[in-house]
Amino acid sequence: MNMPRLTVDPNSSSRYHPGWNAVLLRDATIIPSVGQEVLAVQDDPDGPDYISTAIVQQVDLEAGLIYVTVDWDGFHDEEPSA
């Protein structure tokens, strides 16, 4: 099974938890669980996406947000799928 993908924006941090990034729930491939590892994606329309991993810290269904801690140092170009 593929790891769920979440599109992350480094400028979208939580006001109350500065190390967390907010992700729009509508941009998720599934509703993840707290503690789940997900694929953090920065889309690049001109080349391969830039990817790393993140851990889900909170899911706020009412606000439509998922809060994650992202491994920013782990980002690299996504390998093309076979």
User: Which residue has tokens 């599934």?
Assistant: 30
Average pLDDT, the chain: 89
| C-beta separation of 76 from 40 below 8 A | no
Residue that the structure tokens 């889900």 belong to: 56
Give the pLDDT of residue 57. Answer: 97
pLDDT at position 33: 95
pLDDT digits (tens, 9 = 90+) for 50-66: 899 999 999 999 999 99
* 8-state DSSP, 13: B
Query: What pLDDT shows up at residue 46?
Result: 84
Q: Which tokens sit at 37?
A: 């590892």
Say yes or no to pLDDT of 30 above 80. Answer: yes
The single-letter DSSP state of residue 16 is S
Q: Give the start-to-end residue ranges of the domains of the chain.
A: 5-73
pLDDT score for 82? 55
